[in-house]
Structure 1
C-alpha cells in the first residue's frame, strides 16, 4: 500500500525486485564501442535503457546514457531491443562523443 501511495503522490516509478535488479545483461561490442543494456522496470513492464561506452585511452572512459519510451512485457525482450537501439544510435550519431565530455545523454 505504501508503494502505491508513494507512486501516486510523486514518489517515483516502481522499483524492480532485488532479484531482477541483480541480473545484468552482457555488454556487446559494436564498432569499437560497448553497449550495456540496463532496462528499467516500470509499472509492470520493462523500459528500454542502456549505456554506450567508449574507451578514450589512458584510463579514460566516456559514456552516453539512453532511455527510450519503448516498453516490453519481458526483460529479455527489453534487453534485445536495447541492443538494437544502441546500434541504431551508434550508426546514426557520428557526433556521439564529439563534445569530449566523459558522460552525457544520447
Structure 2
C-alpha cells in the first residue's frame, strides 16, 4: 500500500472494508442515506444528508467518531444522529 492510499484509507476507511450503502430514509424535506464504514470488526457511523433535486441538490456527508459492533445498530444510530443534526441545523447543515 502506497503512502497516499494509506492516508486515504485512514480518513475514508478502506474501500474493501466499506459496508454497502443502506436504503434512503426520508425525513421532513431531507433524505438520509446511512453508509456505515467497516473498520476491523466494527462499523463507524457515516452517511449523507441531501435536500432538493437536480441543480438545487444540496449534500452534506458526515463521518462520526461513534463505532458500533453491529451493522444494523450502526445504521439505526446513523439515522438518529442525522435526524438530530437536521432538527438542530435545518438548511444550515449545508453551509
TM range (shorter): 0.7 to 0.9
Gaps of 5+ in 1: 1-5, 100-106
Matches within 5 A, 1:17-36: 17=16, 21=19, 23-36=20-33
Aligned to 1:73: 69
**C-alpha distance in 2, partners of 1:25/1:91?**
21
Matches within 5 A, 1:13-52: 13=10, 15=14, 17=16, 21=19, 23-52=20-49
**Is 1:83 aligned with 2:79?**
yes
TM-score, L = length of structure 1: 0.69
SS in 2 for 1:67: strand
TM-score, L = length of structure 2: 0.76
User: Quick check: which one's helix share is greater?
Assistant: 2
Measure how far apart 1:17 and its partner are. 4.9
**C-alpha distance in 2, partners of 1:15/1:73?**
17
